[in-house]
Amino acid sequence: MNRSLYAHIADSAARCERHGHFDEAESLWRQASEQAVQQENRDWTALRARVCESRRRFLAACPARVKNGGVA
């Protein structure tokens, strides 16, 4: 593993996730997973990718709820 590449991708993924860019974060988490050598890092990045996928799908299905501050 190129540790600096893994760290760079994971940092970018976390930043995207914090800013609500779940589609980009999901993709970056999957890329980070490919760079990870340790199993716990692969597991963590795969989990984060699934969380981002779930959030992205939820937001796509409920745009009115999000736009109205949670009131549908």
Structural domain that includes position 7? 3-67
The pLDDT tens digits for 12-59 are 999 999 999 999 999 999 999 999 999 999 999 999 999 999 999 998
What confidence category does residue 72 fall into, taking pLDDT thresholds of 50, 70 and 90? very low
Q: How distant, in Å, are the alpha carbons of 3, 5, 16, 34, 63 from that of 57?
A: 31, 28, 16, 23, 10
Per the domain annotation, does 72 fall within a domain?
Answer: no
Tell whether pTM > 0.85.
no
Per the domain annotation, does 10 fall within a domain?
Answer: yes
Residues 6+ apart with CB under 8 A from 57: none
Residue type, 47: L
Give the chain's domain count. Answer: 1
Average pLDDT over the chain reads: 88
